[in-house]
Each structure stands twice: as structure tokens, then as C-alpha cells.
């Protein structure tokens, strides 16, 4: 979901296109930063440049898999800027030709199960090629990689917690073949209380999806937890009951993050940071933000 032309991503500490280019020398990353701000540009050209990042005093950007402005962004990487690639799962990876037993053109209506609530045969050679294309751009010095986008949402990746485990393992394996010290960013889930609608959230709320994923993974791996270095969530002002936008929900962003922190701690991820990998404010279209709406946004960003 994209609500703004430029989306902001932030880290919450544990306490609270197709071009293939030669490898770029990158600085080996240190530990997960204690403050994290990145920009994902959803404008038509998809390009992010240093000017975008300087507005937010950031060195990070995200969006897709490939550099969108190869010449300029290769130089950004040399200067210490960082790119966070995101690999899709579930229904979306099926549409990308990453399932060897389901044609990419197969609609969800004609096959509502393969890769979604029923395991599919993964095209691991195509997955590895996709990973190597990314690593040829950003290097292989312990970079961060995101696996899964809004996995709980039927309008995004849409995959059951139990089926996701096999897809997660396949991506981790492909990533670590070329980057053994890679840092894995957990699947981005919606706001933890979203939503009661079985149309948009067929596996329960986003928080329930994540708890089920951890439990299913442990069962499938003799008690071992998913190897996650960073947790991830999205924040939009959606009403938990209906999944529709509501201005009053903006005031609950911090509550959503705190709820995820508590749930993650309970599941054994105490000390693992939470990254807000997508954030937006949904207001009725038709004109610029009102002063009240702007103030509401400012207050919530400060609170986060």
C-alpha cells in the first residue's frame, strides 16, 4: 500500500530495471542502527537520490529489488548510502514466475491456493538469479534483506503462516549463498490489530499472523525460531474493524508499535529491533491537507 509519493520508514529500538552491474564496494555494515530513517520513492520514475535522503537526514532507501537510477545510485552506495531490497512471497511471488508448477499468468480466481495456503514448487534457480542480481548491485558484505510484504493481507503477498515458512527458508538460503553474513528483515506485516475483515486479512489480524508464523516455523524446525535480525511492520490509519481509513486511528500508531513490541518479546524476540518499513496517512482525496491533519501527522511522527 502506498499512501504518499514518498514513504518514510523508521526503526523502533528494542526498548520502546533490470540492469545487472558489476559489484560495488560497500562498507561493511555495523550493528543494526539505533535510529533508522529511509525513503521509498513511489513517484513514476521510482528514483531516489541524495537530495531525497538529506531531507530526512537519512542514509537509507528502499523500494523493489533493482537500482532505479543505476549510475547515480551506484555512486550513492560508494558514498555510504544503503539500499534495502525486498523479496516477495505468496501470491505475488507466483505472479513473478517464481513457482515452477504454476504459470505466472494464473489468476487467483482460477487457483486460489498454490503458494498461498498450499505449498507450491519453488523455482529456486530463478530465486537465486534474482538474489544474485541484487547482490551484484549492493555487494555481499552483510547487507540487510527484507523477505515478504504485507504477508497477512489478501491484497498484497497473501500467504498463510505455515506456507510462508518454506518460502522464507528458500529466500534466506539463496541470500546467504552469496552473502553469508546477511541480516534478515522479517516479513512486513500490517498494523498488528488490523483487521477483523476476513476479506483483507484471511489469516486473522497481522499480529495473529506473525504469532502463527513463529509457532508453525518452530513446529516445522524442531523448535528453532525463524532467523530474524530485524522485525518489520507497516503503519496506516486503518480501522481494525473495517480496514477503512479513519483519522482517529492516527493517534494509535504508537500503541500499535508497543503492542508488536510486547508480542515479539513474548515470542522470543526481545532485543530485536522493529523497523516501520512503510508508513502513511490516509485522508480523503480532493485537496491539500488541512492544518489539523498536518498537525496530527507531525505529532504522531514525533511520538514515534
- Please state, in angstroms and rounded to a whole number, the distance separating the CA atoms of residues 68 and 17: 6
Q: For residue 185, what is the DSSP state?
A: E
- Please state, in angstroms and rounded to a whole number, the distance separating the CA atoms of residues 139 and 21: 11
- Please state, in angstroms and rounded to a whole number, the distance separating the CA atoms of residues 104 and 230: 30
Count CA atoms closer than 13 A to 146's CA, side-chain side. Answer: 26
Q: Of 286 and 9, which is predicted with more confidence?
A: 286
**The predicted structure's pLDDT at residue 106:** 96
The beta strand positions in 95-193, using DSSP E, are 144-147, 183-185
Q: Of 160 and 194, which is predicted with more confidence?
A: 160
**The predicted structure's pLDDT at residue 18:** 30
Q: For residue 245, what is the DSSP state?
A: B
Residue 9 has pLDDT above 70, yes or no: no
| Mean pLDDT of the 191-214 span | 93
Q: Of 17 and 251, which is predicted with more confidence?
A: 251
Among 120-134, 205-219, 228-242, the minimum mean pLDDT is found in 228-242
Q: Of 199 and 4, which is predicted with more confidence?
A: 199
Tell me the pLDDT tens digit for each residue of 93-143.
999 999 999 999 999 999 999 999 999 999 999 999 999 999 998 999 999
**The predicted structure's pLDDT at residue 61:** 86
**The predicted structure's pLDDT at residue 246:** 80
Residues in the chain: 304
Tell me the pLDDT tens digit for each residue of 10-29.
444 443 323 333 334 444 44
Residue 243 has pLDDT above 80, yes or no: no
Question: Which residue, chain included where needed, has cell 530463478?
Answer: 126
Count CA atoms closer than 13 A to 242's CA, side-chain side. Answer: 6
**The predicted structure's pLDDT at residue 1:** 53
**The predicted structure's pLDDT at residue 244:** 79
Residue 77 has pLDDT above 60, yes or no: yes
Specify whether the CB–CB gap between 162 and 216 falls below 8 A: yes
| Mean pLDDT of the 219-241 span | 92
**The predicted structure's pLDDT at residue 41:** 62
Among 34-38, 138-142, 185-189, 254-258, the minimum mean pLDDT is found in 34-38
Amino acid at each position: 500500500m502506498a499512501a504518499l509519493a514518498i514513504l518514510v520508514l523508521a526503526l523502533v529500538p528494542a526498548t520502546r530495471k533490470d540492469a545487472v552491474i558489476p559489484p560495488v564496494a560497500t562498507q561493511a555494515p555495523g550493528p543494526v542502527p539505533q535510529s533508522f530513517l529511509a525513503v521509498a520513492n513511489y513517484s513514476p520514475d521510482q528514483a531516489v537520490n541524495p537530495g531525497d535522503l538529506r531531507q530526512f537526514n537519512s542514509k537509507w532507501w528502499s523500494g523493489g529489488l533493482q537500482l532505479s537510477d543505476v549510475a547515480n545510485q551506484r555512486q550513492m552506495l560508494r558514498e555510504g548510502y544503503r539500499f534495502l531490497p525486498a523479496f516477495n512471497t505468496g501470491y505475488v511471488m507466483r505472479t513473478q514466475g517464481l513457482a515452477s508448477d504454476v504459470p505466472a499468468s494464473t489468476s487467483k480466481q482460477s487457483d486460489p491456493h498454490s503458494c498461498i495456503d498450499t505449498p507450491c514448487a519453488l523455482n529456486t534457480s530463478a530465486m537465486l538469479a534474482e538474489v544474485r542480481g541484487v547482490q551484484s548491485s549492493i555487494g555481499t558484505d552483510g547487507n540487510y534483506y527484507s523477505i515478504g510484504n504485507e504477508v497477512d493481507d489478501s491484497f498484497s503477498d497473501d500467504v498463510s503462516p505455515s506456507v510462508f515458512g518454506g518460502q522464507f527458508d528458500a529466500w534466506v538460503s539463496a541470500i546467504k549463498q552469496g552473502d553469508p553474513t546477511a541480516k534478515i528483515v522479517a516479513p512486513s506485516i500490517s498494523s498488528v490489530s488490523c483487521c477483523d475483515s476476513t476479506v483483507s486479512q484471511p489469516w486473522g489480524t497481522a499480529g495473529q499472523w506473525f504469532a502463527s508464523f513463529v509457532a508453525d516455523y518452530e513446529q516445522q524446525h524442531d523448535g528453532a525460531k525463524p532467523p530474524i535480525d530485524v522485525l518489520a511492520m507497516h503503519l496506516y490509519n486503518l480501522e481494525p474493524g473495517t480496514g477503512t481509513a479513519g483519522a482517529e486511528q492516527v493517534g494509535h500508531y504508537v500503541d500499535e508499535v508497543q503492542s508488536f513490541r510486547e508480542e515479539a518479546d513474548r515470542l522470543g524476540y526481545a532485543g530485536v529491533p522493529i523497523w516501520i518499513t512503510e508508513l502513511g496517512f490516509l485522508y480523503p482525496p480532493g485537496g491539500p491537507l488541512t492544518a489539523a491533519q498536518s498537525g496530527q501527522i507531525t505529532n504522531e511522527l514525533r511520538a514515534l
